[in-house]
Amino acid sequence: IFNLQALEHVNARLLELYPDDEERFDIVLMTNNHAQVGVRLINSINHYGLTIERFCMTGGKSPIGYLTAYLTNLYLSADSEKVQEAIEAGIASATMFTANKDVAYSDTQLRVAFDGDAVLFSDESEQIVKEQGLDRFFEHEQLNENKPLAQGPLKGFLEDLGKLQKKFYAKNERLNCPIRTFLVTARSAASSGARVLKTLRSWGLEVDEALFLAGAPKGPVLVKIRPHIFFDDQMFHIEGAQKLGTIAAHVPYGVAQKYHKSA
């Protein structure tokens, strides 16, 4: 359900530029299938021409305990319970949802889109929205404009993407960088956008594009971006993205989960 060709293209470009450097994407297949299924998995991977060298087959047990040993930067699964377990273990993780229609994705540029609050950042601001309303939220964000937000569960993954991007920038490949990142947030730029951008700057991180939608649906913008994956903490946005053809991943973190479960 995820376009691995774009990842492999990034790796190929990195190998060309840095033949002695092993800092590249490493895809690990984690499954609770028994080891006997391994041959079938290998045949499928070879059939699709994918480069996946490392497997973890746990014979019915949860693979989450192995994530730290495999130095996992991001865990993706269709099993929401395992994703929740990984998030609680402090590992960046999200539940994958396939798109409801076929969309052409780039094979030569990995495009990753992130929501802000409760994904890149903590859920501090979302708590105020849920408990005290939008007016109080706008007031709070303007008062705290120069105070960086705490980090969220996927901050480290954006950091990892940024490190790879800088390898291309160092070789004067900024305009041809095969990784592009997007912030797609329901925040309004005028009333609550500055704190987000200042937080990224304080972390030494950047996104290539920042889209502030002021509460408008995210799906139509994602159609234009065509990300290989979009991360959000609210199922409402995940479902809207799915309907219009975006592969979306739900991050089960923060106050929105409490409201989603009780709905």
Q: 79, 102, 107, 115: which one is catalytic?
A: 115
Decide if 105 is inside a domain: no
pLDDT, position 33: 79
Average pLDDT on 34-44 reads 83
Say whether both 9 and 129 belong to one domain: no
The pLDDT tens digits of the residues spanning 183-199 come to 999 999 988 889 999 99
Question: What is the Cα 38 distance to its own chain's centre?
Answer: 28
Whole-number mean pLDDT of the chain? 90
Say whether both 187 and 230 belong to one domain: yes
Confirm whether 115 is a catalytic residue: yes
Tell me the residue range of the domain where 227 lies. Answer: 110-261
Name residue, tokens 């099993």: 79
User: Is residue 261 scored above 80 in pLDDT?
Assistant: no
pLDDT, position 259: 57
Say whether both 251 and 124 belong to one domain: yes
The pLDDT tens digits of the residues spanning 16-25 come to 999 999 899 9
Say whether both 244 and 155 belong to one domain: yes
User: Is residue 60 scored above 90 in pLDDT?
Assistant: no
Say whether both 62 and 130 belong to one domain: no
Say whether both 137 and 204 belong to one domain: yes
Say whether both 69 and 27 belong to one domain: yes
Burial per residue of 160-179, b for 16 or more beta-carbon CB atoms within 10 angstroms, e otherwise: bbbebbebbeeeeeeeebbb
Name residue, tokens 């030494």: 204
Decide if 101 is inside a domain: no
Name residue, tokens 């007016």: 135
Decide if 104 is inside a domain: no
pLDDT, position 263: 42
Output 157-161 pairs: Cβ under 8 A, ≥24 positions apart. Answer: 157/73, 157/74, 157/92, 158/114, 158/120, 158/205, 158/207, 159/203, 159/205, 160/73, 160/74, 161/112
Decide if 160 is inside a domain: yes
What DSSP element (H or E) covers 138? helix 134-143
How many structural domains does the chain have?
2
Say whether both 89 and 216 belong to one domain: no
Decide if 200 is inside a domain: yes
Average pLDDT on 105-113 reads 94
pLDDT bin (cut points 50, 70, 90) of residue 2 is low
pLDDT, position 88: 92
Say whether both 247 and 167 belong to one domain: yes
CATH, residue 155: 3.40.50.1000
Say whether both 215 and 167 belong to one domain: yes
Decide if 159 is inside a domain: yes
Burial per residue of 7-37, b for 16 or more beta-carbon CB atoms within 10 angstroms, e otherwise: bbbbbebbeeeeeeeeebbbebbbeebeeee
Please compute Rg for the chain using Cα positions. Answer: 19
- 225: closest CA among 185, 168, 184? 184
